[in-house]
Chain A
Amino acid sequence: MAFESEESVVELTSQATPANESAPPPADQAANTGAGRRAGVRKRRPFRRSRWAAYAVLLVALTGVGSAYGLATSRSGVAAVGDPSQQVTAGRALYLQGCSSCHGAAAQGGQDAPSLVGVGAAAVDFQVSTGRMPLKIQGAQAERKPSRYTPEQIDQLAAYIASLAPGPAVPGKEQYTPSQADIGYGGNLFRTNCSSCHNFVGAGGALADGKHAPSLNDATDKQIYEAMLTGPGTMPVFGDKQLTPQEKQDVIAYLNQMKATPDPGGANLGRSGAVAEGLVAFLAGMTVLAGVAMWIGARAKRAA
């Protein structure tokens, strides 16, 4: 759109017919801007639309729409690619909905549940991803069950709890995935620190006060790492300065190897030891052989 120069506008207005002072200015835009004012109204600075105004509006509009789109679709990943405060907020909302009834509105704990301040994101990730939390029923301990939350939701919960106070962070994949692991050394570590609760190969065992150390067969590498790091329930804490990340990887590698290794001797009877073997000897061995003996000594069939 071309705009005439100021002179031409002024000229136009000076040539205008003398009209009534009170007469409304003509609809014509050029006459409006110029004649009305010149005709007795105090002189005002005219509104100027820059030739670049359109481009400016376009730029602002594009930027605005783009930012809004980006904000609306950003993912709340572990590395907090998205806006961290969004994670925490979402996590807090989830927390208030599903956890605060036992753990308190500010995660300070309650009669039935411990404080979560300072437990760290790793503890949350472990408890919620194994389904132990939310607790199904108050009992001796929380049991593994299918998780009620999606991985994104678990991350949000973890972010919220981590925001309350510093604690162990969720381990990265390179931390918990065994690489160059010494399986034999891992087995040694496992037998010194873990097998007295969890059994020689992690099949689980009884503890006092109605608790039990669960089987490790369903646990993922990440969950095993987190459990060692955070010490869920009555399990002791094996910090990274006590059991280094490499040593934790060794333990995980050992457990994975034991899970993957077939039992060369045949049916493994739950890898639980001599009790099952004794039962099989009596119930299978002796009964079968007594049965054979009964056949040998049975009364001969008489001819009809």
Chain B
Amino acid sequence: MKQIKQVLGGELRKYTMVIALVALILIFHIASGGKMITPSNFQNLLSGNAYVLILAIGMLMVIVIGQIDLSVGSVSGFCGMVMALTATNLNWPWWAAVLCGLGIGVLIGAWQGFWVAKLGIPGFITTLGGMMIFRGGVIWISKSISVPAPAELKWFGAGYLPEWGPSFTGMNNSTLLLGIIAIAALAFMQLRKHKRTSELKGGNEPLWPVVTRIILGAVVIGYLTWLFGSGRPGTSFPIPGLILVILVIIYHTITQRTRFGRHIYAVGGNKSAAALSGVNVKKTYFLTMLNMSFLAALAGIMFVGRSTAAGPSDGNGWELDAIASVYIGGAAVSGGVGTIMATMVGGMVMAVLNSGLMLMGVGADKTQVIKGLVLLAAVAFDVYNKQPGHVSITKRLFSTKDSAAKEGSPAAKES
């Protein structure tokens, strides 16, 4: 078991949700008679949920700084509508319309950030206001009528990568190329990291965990590549999924590897301590709120692409889906805790539940009930695991006695 730990890199606890997700997929695959793990269903999972997951990226950052954004659904709807209207009614080229929609998103973000950062209005209230303002705005500018979107946008919301090259590969070659790049990147980064750690520690780090990690990663990526690439001809890894992956990489880097990212966690963990460490708290609030609305605009535009039209009720309730993803991903309500990766897993848990229950023909009513229960269960599980005195369930599954004894619970020490 120690070997497993070495391969996965420390804390097994963070894999709890991943295990739950895999289990969920398998259960649904069996229960639906083999309809879950298919190329088209996985493509749908990404295309159909990319917008929520993109919102969840921004929402994670907002929740980490200890705020909340209730307006994202309305902002998504508003920006999508602005984009559709400029393209259809003003006859702007599609790319100009998209830029306009994103620009409006940034402006809205600056507006919300102004109230939160400069005036110190709690995010909850600021964005509750924003929720109403921009929902009203959508209905106002659209006159409550759906507006068709430029055809090019469908590519962003529901498109696929091009087909090219030889057919003997048996799959979409663009997807294959992506998979190869991903595996190569994984191997490169792992090896580089290993090289630098062993330089640091005097060259005695064992190589086998790294190699095992690369092989395991390659198998998973390879399998997914094959799954996405071998669907109906003309389909591939979906464009919205690709946009999502790129965003996840960018935002993972921002949150984990930049000063701004550290500042987000510092402000959320202890605002006063952060201020005394030289963090500009207001600026951090402002940029995080601004970023949220920008991502909301992007999500809204992608959704319009998938729907082929912008509707007056676009975005209704999306904020709640995004918030649920973040909390299932283990973020703390009080702020300071949570990662993009875990949030994505949380979002996928919701998406897989939705999809699996639909495949089984369960109605929207019961689906809602089940999703609600899962949200509660996931957060309760997290809280239980973090409580002093409880040995986490993952640890119970994987650990041997001595490792449990070594890591004492914090409660044992006096404050």
Q: Do the two shown chains form a genuine complex with each other?
A: no
- Name A residues whose Cβ lies closer than 8 Å to a Cβ of B: none
- Name B residues whose Cβ lies closer than 8 Å to a Cβ of A: none
